[in-house]
Amino acid sequence: MITKKTLKKISKGDYDALMGAIGELVDIFHYDRFDDGYESCLSDMEVHAGRIAERLTKEAEKKNAPAEKDVDYYLLMQDEVKKIISDYLTEEIENI
């Protein structure tokens, strides 16, 4: 934390205090940038997760009939899920 004492030292020409304050400010800046980036990433992932879930549901409904009447149970194989997710992400990357 940069205090009044630190600022007084800097004003008197204390190079170590100046470098310490600069280091602290850089750390705070990087932390804020990381925090903002992390929040942005989570927000984006939330959007994409919903879209992928919707696409998986639609594909499952197309390929399979419900297991029982009045039960929404569909089956997709692991390879199908992998392909659907891969196709979605490829489309998103191409649309950037």
pLDDT in tens, 70-79: 666 677 889 9
- Listed in order, strand segments (DSSP E) in 1-96 are none
The pTM score is: 0.56
User: Do residues 6 and 14 lie in contact, with contact meaning Cβ atoms separated by under 8 Å?
Assistant: no
The backbone torsions φ and ψ at residue 94, rounded to the nearest 5 degrees and listed phi first, read -70, -25
Total Cβ atoms within 10 A of residue 36: 10
Task: Report pLDDT digits (tens) over 35-64.
Answer: 788 788 888 888 999 999 999 988 888 876
Structure tokens that stand for 84 in this block: 């659907």
Domain ranges of the chain: 4-94
pLDDT of residue 72: 65
Structure tokens that stand for 89 in this block: 């992400």
